[in-house]
Structure 1
Amino acid sequence: MKQVNIGGVPEHFNLAWYLTLKNGEYKAEGINLRWHDYFGGTGAMCKSLRSGEIDIAVILTEGIIKDIIDGNPSSIVQTFVETPLIWGIHVADKSEFKTIKDIKGTRAAISRYGSGSHLMAYINAKNNNWNLDTDLNFEVIKNLTGAVEGLTNGDADYFMWEKFTTKPLVDDGTFRRIGECPSPWPCFVIAVRDEFIENNKEELKIILDIINTTTLDFKSIPSIDRTISNRYDQEIEDVQEWLSITEWSQDVIDEKTIEKVQDELLKLDIISKKVNYSNLVTKI
């Protein structure tokens, strides 16, 4: 049986992977797919793709594009979630900051450099006409637990993370959400190490077929809202709202979207150059 390692954030977006694994669908095809939770998000997954610790990552679009341009020997094989990610902008509940204007020039908590929380801080700064050189400061906090500690202790001032994942922390008074910042493109893609693509194309096709069959009808799964609510400790109303605004994809990311992401990252000085579509995307 072929062992394949895959990584992703332990969030509701990836429940389809859990369900297909639980049903033994990959093993039925001779593939031992091993899921690895990445609490540190995209930056941590980029590192593991580079080292070969994982073969596949369900990863933020902007983060993996930046890392492939920076030398990560991987390729995007398809879009996973078509809709934007809604990033909540959070401060500690007892913080003096009340609006996005108040956090200009303060310290953003980020999981690591090159992560989504890092890159989206630039998008938020641009949206609000901040000076990208003087109005952005960063404190590395590794993950959501680190963000809770960092904001509560005053080591950082604000934190950007997917708003439904952090909603329980807003509800219990740990964080206050002072704004939102949607990603300007499809939020999650599936990226695969180039070496794995070259040597295991048939297995990769099978894995993609299985997950795509599930995401195609994901919203029709009986009581899926209750399953998500129970598994991820979220209010049923929040889950229903999230499901209503989220669409999965079974398609290869298009050239226009890749151009848009690169244009934005280049403008923000996050990447130093643009590369051809074929350098970033492999069609399976």
Structure 2
Amino acid sequence: MPLRVGYVREHFSSPLLQYAEADGGKTFTLVECPSGTGQLIQRLTNDEIDVALALTDPLISGIAKGSDAYKLVGTYVTTPLNWAVITGKDTKFQQISDLQETTLGISRLGSGSQTMAYVMALQQGWPTDNLHFKINNDIRGLVDSVNDGSTSAFMWEWFTTKPWLDAGEVRFIGSVPTPWPSWMIAAHPTRASTDALRTFLGELTNYVRAFDSAEKRAQDDVEFIKAKFGYPEEDVKAWLKTVGYTHDCSAISGQVISDTLSVLEKAGFIRSPEGGFDVKQFVNPEIAKLT
């Protein structure tokens, strides 16, 4: 049976989409999760997918909070994610500091939009034990919420949200890059076979390396993203200057896990157990190489 691979249909997924087109559903099928990593984790938990390409911080915080629905099996994007801080077109909010003690929109509990709100609060020096959130499920719900006044702002990846900015539906009042590499790969610990996961990660590595090459970045990547996502060429080129991919999808940095846990703990989003976290508990050692 083919692996069920959950993903978010964004420009970051381009190497995966190229792999999927070549595979034709023989070894894996794609399951789109438009609401983001919170939805990916929910589907891993509900036996709707076997593997997820998802954001680093929600994956790590989910395991830290006790989830046994998945373990980390690999790395995908090695550069930070630039989260735009987004408000409605006519709101009074002009800068991030204006958002203190307001209600922030998130897609789901435990999503990147929520974990990064804690990071933003940490950076701003706000208390993090009483942040206010409203769940809005997806980007459309989030955009509507900042314009109907039910939330003050929300956070989403810069280029993914830029079409709403260009259309005049929202305003950007700042940005918060992640203090960690942004995308990792997780899989249910028993549903997918070891051989199938190793094959998937090995082939994905080949597509990632090709996509990340200077030759492909110069033209082919630009044309692929323009055709697939409809982004203006200047936006695609600007994004490509900021993004880097792993050249071994099955390798995981223990330092990335520990650094991410440290920031999330300081932000008040997770609590360390007595004796601290054991990085090895976050990784499936049969699949991933912990470095």
Fold similarity call, TM over 0.5: yes
**SS in structure 2 of the partner of residue 127 of structure 1:** helix
| Contact preservation (8 Å) 2:118, 2:268 | no
Residue in structure 1 matched with residue 197 of structure 2 by the alignment: 204
Residue in structure 2 matched with residue 42 of structure 1 by the alignment: 37
Residue in structure 1 matched with residue 240 of structure 2 by the alignment: 243
| Contact preservation (8 Å) 1:25, 1:210 | no
CA–CA distance in structure 2, aligned partners of residues 229 and 66 of structure 1: 33
* 1:91 aligned onto 2:91: no
Could you tell me which runs of 5 or more consecutive residues in structure 2 were left unpaired when the two chains were aligned. Answer: none
Give me the CA root mean square deviation: 1.5
CA–CA distance in structure 2, aligned partners of residues 97 and 71 of structure 1: 36
CA–CA distance in structure 2, aligned partners of residues 127 and 271 of structure 1: 16
Which residue, out of 223, 226, 229, partners 2:226?
229
Q: CA deviation at 1:72?
A: 2.8
CA–CA distance in structure 1, aligned partners of residues 80 and 98 of structure 2: 25
CA–CA distance in structure 1, aligned partners of residues 4 and 24 of structure 2: 15
Amino acid at match of 2:15: A
**SS in structure 2 of the partner of residue 169 of structure 1:** helix
| Contact preservation (8 Å) 2:62, 2:110 | yes
**SS in structure 1 of the partner of residue 129 of structure 2:** coil
How does the TM-score come out when normalised to structure 2?
A: 0.91
Residue in structure 1 matched with residue 283 of structure 2 by the alignment: 281
Residue in structure 1 matched with residue 127 of structure 2 by the alignment: 131
Residue in structure 2 matched with residue 103 of structure 1 by the alignment: 99
* 1:14 aligned onto 2:16: no
Q: CA deviation at 1:25?
A: 6.5
* 1:187 aligned onto 2:189: no
What do residues 246-272 of structure 1 show as CA deviations (whole Å, max 9, x unaligned)?
011125221111111111122222222
Could you tell me which runs of 5 or more consecutive residues in structure 1 were left unpaired when the two chains were aligned. Answer: none
Q: CA deviation at 1:26?
A: 6.3
What do residues 170-194 of structure 1 show as CA deviations (whole Å, max 9, x unaligned)?
1111111110100000111000100
Identical columns (%): 30
Which residue, out of 158, 164, 167, partners 1:169?
164
**SS in structure 2 of the partner of residue 16 of structure 1:** helix
CA–CA distance in structure 2, aligned partners of residues 26 and 212 of structure 1: 18
Amino acid at match of 1:71: S
Residue in structure 2 matched with residue 120 of structure 1 by the alignment: 116
Amino acid at match of 2:118: Y
**SS in structure 1 of the partner of residue 191 of structure 2:** helix
CA–CA distance in structure 2, aligned partners of residues 16 and 82 of structure 1: 14
Note the 1:150-165 alignment, pairs <5 A: 150-165=145-160
Aligned length: 276
How does the TM-score come out when normalised to structure 1?
A: 0.93
CA–CA distance in structure 1, aligned partners of residues 95 and 267 of structure 2: 23
Amino acid at match of 2:132: N
**SS in structure 2 of the partner of residue 58 of structure 1:** strand
CA–CA distance in structure 2, aligned partners of residues 47 and 101 of structure 1: 32
| Contact preservation (8 Å) 1:46, 1:72 | no
